[in-house]
Amino acid sequence: MRTLAALIVCLCSLVSHAEPLSEAQLQSFASQAEWRFGIVDNTDAEGPLVRLSLNNRSDVVLPEGESDWEIYFHSVRKIANTDSGGLQLQHIQGDLHRLTPTEDFTGLASGGEFTLPYRVSAAMVAYTDFMPRAFIHWPGVGSAVFANTDTEDVHAFVDVIERPEQWRRSTNDEVPRATASTRYDANRVFDGLRLSESELRQRIIPTPLSVNAHWGDVTLTTDWAIHYEGRLSSEATYLAERLEAVMGKAPARVLSTDALDGPRIELKVDPGLSDLPEGPESYRLVVERELIEIIGRDNAGAFYGLQSLLNLLPARAEQGRFTLPRLTVLDAPRAGWRGMHYDMGRNFHGQAVTLRLIEQMGRYKLNKLHLHLTEDEGWRLEIPGLPELTDVGAYRCFDPDENDCLLTQLGTGPHKDGSGNGFYSRENFVEILKYAAARHIEVIPEVDMPGHARAAIKAMEARHYRLTEAGQPEAARQYLLSDPDDTSDYITVQNYTDNSINVCLESTYAFVDKVMYELQQMYREAGLKLNIFHMGGDEVGKGSWSGSPACQTLFTERQGVAGVADLKPYFVSRVAAMAKQRGLAVAGWEDGLMYDAQNTFNRDQFDNTRVIANAWDNIWEWGVGDRAHRLANAGFEVVLSHGTHLYFDHPYEAHPDERGYYWATRYTDTRKVFGYMPSHLYANATTTREGAAIDNLEALVGRAMPPLEKPENILGIQGQVWTETIRTAQQLETMIYPRLLPLAERAWHRASWESDEPDVKARRKDFAEFAAVLAQRELPKLAAADVAFHLSPPGARWEKGRLQVNTEFPGMVVEVKTSANGEWQSNLGGISREESPVWVRGRVGDVKSCATRLE
């Protein structure tokens, strides 16, 4: 097996290398030299062309000829190995690339500059496609980050993206760049719609089954008390805490067995109540002048009833009181699985932001938190007895041997205190479980394997090295996940060549069982039961295990495992059997449960009562958008997790300033999430990933699309946020919010306009009302909870010489200034074209959109 240290070994030469720089010189050079990236042309016939440059603004000279200095930088697109101008550019592992001088290098004098063009594997059209913290390393001296790249302001090291060949993904890209004018046209969806004050006051997000409004209002003050049944103690405490947060004083809590006079909120459970909707989690909410009554079919129903009450509260109290409409709500969820997936494996963001996510999920009645705890780039949960998983696997730095940390990735840079590092302690995780349970949210832990497992593999290799050195070879092999004699040659979508757990080693299954066991203990300590073990299973590198002697032995010894193609189902079957033995359902991403794009594994090979698949890869023109139906029809339970509508790591709009990947679709805004139709899967196929309209899906694919024969196997829907480009908690939240709210809307409520041919006019009015409530009530509440969220710039244009402005959410404040350094003002009246250019931005509270310039 090739070691990373061997891949990163310094270049050798018969000629003498230059004397190394001192540590002080290295630091001086990195602090003053300027490292930059620039997009040249994504539409070039030979492939996307990018460049890097280094301007030496320091007094330190890089010598001519071969030297031991190396520059490392991160690129999410694999770069073709390049030799040009005395510089050699090589891919190392994942997103890490290295630049070294050859004998033809002419040196870099003070004031000098070099530029190196290179080809990348796919288009790069956004500033956040480029990662921070490029660094120079001199063996034996140290590493230093180029100061201008040691920032989250990517504009500091990425050249301006303004030409069409820079922001288009290819010559076939039909998606226009977002401008003030295109935004104005998009926002005109609200033109002609008049939303009454009563409609907005009565709108609950997510929308209930029925709302029957009565004449008059109810005034909620701190004089009200909470009268609750003993089984609802947790819910009563939660309600009191939320009311205290917005009113400054907690209402009294009184058990229902004690008499109570005066205005009160009654919390009850009555599964036999005749007018309650059928099914779990249903409730009735009645708001009257002296009594607010919440009755749930179960505790969860009562909790969702109180969330509807809290949702009705205006964003701000008036002198410690709220005015509510009198009404009766009858409600039940559309789907039992209303989920949010959060990847902290790529970049870790801390416990606090996880708790804030759980709180907001509870507010909007989402009930499944899928935690992606492990990845190639990090292992994020302490496992007792396996300290290397977090001592090594939770950190990235520049350590070629990877005994102290994983090799740096995703803009972390060379030091262990770089971005994205960290993990949940066991105590942290137990606290997360309890916090989620109090909000009726089930946490689904994912340990991704056999692919996407580099952090675990390298951690267990570090453990193997430690115990071998300590003279304990048997213990060293106990949880080893890699075969040292494996010569398999593969590269994954994320450009790793060593991230597949060896499924032919018995030590692999000892490791899986150990992790399952420890997870169960954490849930038990939290007073809960682990129900589902998610084993990932996606994107295994083609060619994995083909050169493994252990697998060759397995082929001769085990019936039913005849070759490499049998290994993934063999692995999944064994993990599923281990999960069943522990009383667990097993879950995986769709491709982890399929032989190929159209053929699922045989459901009967799994003895588990439940096998759950996340259907995610639905690029329509690739012919894979029917996998959800194929899996459900084959007997798997399916969670709709589709990339075209439900991947919140994608940009909000097609603009270089927007963060995120765009492999599934060029952008996904709030309205697109709102318009997703879980019960009419193929009706969501409106455009290709290039932006071309889809008029006939079957004609596009060239075959019939299988109908859904077992709708009972569709559990619900789930939003996903992957974090390759998300390094901070604030970045994370702006990608999740406000898209989490329309996700909750579609998971909870089936709209009347949903069909194979949706009622566009009804959907337009529904979204207008939803968007207005977001701007006027829900986004201010997010801001008050210290939750960051995204706002797109307003639409703007000149009409008859006067400035016309609209926004993505009706009711947002719009501000304008008439000079680059001018003062922002909210009075837009009288601004004429003679005053152009002008700058326009949107604002909700203290949260502001980017400014857009209008000539």
On the 0-12 / 13-18 / 19+ scale of CB atoms within 10 A, 326 is middle
CA distance 283 to 329: 8
Degrees (nearest 5) of the Cα angle 614, 688, 732? Answer: 50
Determine the length of the chain.
Answer: 855
C-alpha torsion sign, points 546, 547, 549, 552 = positive
| Dihedral pair phi/psi, residue 223, rounded to 5° | -80, -15
CA distance 603 to 801: 66
Element (H, E) at 797: strand 795-799
Residues 6+ apart with CB under 8 A from 162: none
Strand-pair partners of 36: 53
C-alpha torsion sign, points 533, 536, 542, 548 = negative
- Contact criterion met (CB below 8 Å) for 495 and 91: yes
CA distance 710 to 762: 29
CA distance 395 to 8: 19
DSSP secondary structure string, 54-65?
EE--SS--BPSS
Give the type of residue at 245: A
Q: How far is CA 318 from CA 221, 587, 627, 779, 844, in A?
A: 10, 48, 51, 18, 19
| Cα maximum dimension of the chain | 94
Q: How far is CA 267 from CA 75, 160, 243, 302, 400, in A?
A: 54, 57, 15, 7, 59
- Contact criterion met (CB below 8 Å) for 241 and 253: no
CA 208 to chain centre: 27
On the 0-12 / 13-18 / 19+ scale of CB atoms within 10 A, 153 is exposed
Instruction: Match 């080893």 to its residue by tokens.
Output: 480
CA distance 131 to 410: 6
Q: Check if 539 is active-site.
A: yes
Packing angle, helices 506-525 and 567-581, rounded to 10: 40
Give the type of residue at 809: F
Q: 760 by DSSP, 3-state: which?
A: helix
Catalytic position from the list 66, 375, 402, 539 = 539
In 92-102, which positions are buried (b, 16+ CB within 10 angstroms) versus exposed (e)?
bbbbbbbbbbb
DSSP secondary structure string, 166-229?
HH-SSTT--PPPP-HHHHHHHHGGGTT----HHHHHH--SSPPSEEEEEEEEEEE-TT-EEEE-
DSSP 834: G
CA trace torsion 613, 617, 618, 622 (10° rounding): -130
Residues 6+ apart with CB under 8 A from 121: 47, 48, 77, 78, 79, 80, 495
Q: Where are the beta strands (DSSP E) in 353-511?
A: 368-372, 374-375, 378-379, 396-397, 406-407, 442-449
Element (H, E) at 245: helix 233-247
Give the type of residue at 272: G
Please identify every residue annotated as catalytic: 539
